[in-house]
Amino acid sequence: MSKPPGAPPAHGERTRELIVQTALRLFAERGYERTTMRAIADAAGLSVSNAYYYFRSKDQLVQEFYAEIQRRHREEAAEALGRDGFVDRLRGVLHAGVTVMAPYHDFAGSFVGVAINPRSGSSPFSDESTAAREAAIGLFRDVVEGAKPAVDRQVRADLPELLWLAYLGVTLYWVHDTSYEQDRTRRLIDLATPFVARLIRLSRLPGMRPITTDLLWLVRKVRS
């Protein structure tokens, strides 16, 4: 799959990286649509068709973008994952996500439009992005597993994936959020996080058990 770590990167590898970095910079500077493949190639100092030698399409550059964001998200979330309480951890991770995406807000809509398409390969549900998806869900697994006091065992297994789905929802909300510096999304996170925690706690109450069980059953049933 990859070279022994520490080996100097092959020429092709460096060119590839150069293209990604150039693309990301231009995306942030002028947005997605207005960054043409020709502009990327020019800025990177090579020909358009050469860029296409490394990336099948412009969409695939978007996938690289996701991968990069993902890396930064984990980095930015590290601090929050050092805390104890479930709510603090979840809130921190969600805010970290919004923070790393912030520079791209103006045109993130184009990305989401690409990503939502089931055929696009950069869809978070597609086979191609299995790795990225696992990584993202892993982040929320960390949120759940590391919480003290521990999260109810009944929901622990399914919670990471549900939280990841919720995070996709937050992203969708964020994309449409036109408030100053996306403050509304920040507020949504602050308000919804303790609410989620409360629901989880509630699910333990005797009267709620059957409902929780049913919901989890529904989730599992519907997942495949």
Q: Which residues bind DNA (CB under 7 A)?
A: 10-12, 15, 33-38, 46-50, 52-53, 56-59
Q: What is the closest distance, in whole angstroms, from the C-beta atom of residue 3 to a second copy in the complex?
A: 35
Partner touching 215 among a second copy, DNA, none, CB below 5 to 8 Å by kind: a second copy
Could you give the CA distance from residue 102 to residue 98 in angstroms, rounded to a whole number? 6
User: How many of the chain's residues bind a second copy (CB under 8 A)?
Assistant: 32
Q: What is the closest distance, in whole angstroms, from the C-beta atom of residue 214 to a second copy in the complex?
A: 7
Partner touching 213 among a second copy, DNA, none, CB below 5 to 8 Å by kind: none
Of 70 and 120, the one with the shorter C-beta distance to a second copy is 120
Q: What is the closest distance, in whole angstroms, from the C-beta atom of residue 10 to DNA in the complex?
A: 5
CB 47 within 8 A of CB 19: no
Left, alpha or beta for 179 (phi > 0: left; psi -120 to 50: alpha)? beta
Q: Is 99 in the site for a second copy (CB under 8 A)?
A: no
Q: What is the closest distance, in whole angstroms, from the C-beta atom of residue 66 to DNA in the complex?
A: 16
**CB neighbour burial string for 146-170, b if at least 16 within 10 angstroms, e if fewer:** ebeeebeeebeeebbbbbbebbbeb
Could you give the CA distance from residue 147 to residue 2 in angstroms, rounded to a whole number? 34
Could you give the CA distance from residue 210 to residue 216 in angstroms, rounded to a whole number? 10
Residues 6+ apart with CB under 8 A from 79: 92
Q: What is the closest distance, in whole angstroms, from the C-beta atom of residue 125 to DNA in the complex?
A: 20
In the complex, the residues that contact a second copy under the rule CB under 8 A are 109-110, 112-114, 116-120, 123, 125, 172-173, 175-176, 178, 184, 187-188, 191-192, 195, 198-199, 202, 211, 214-215, 218, 221-222
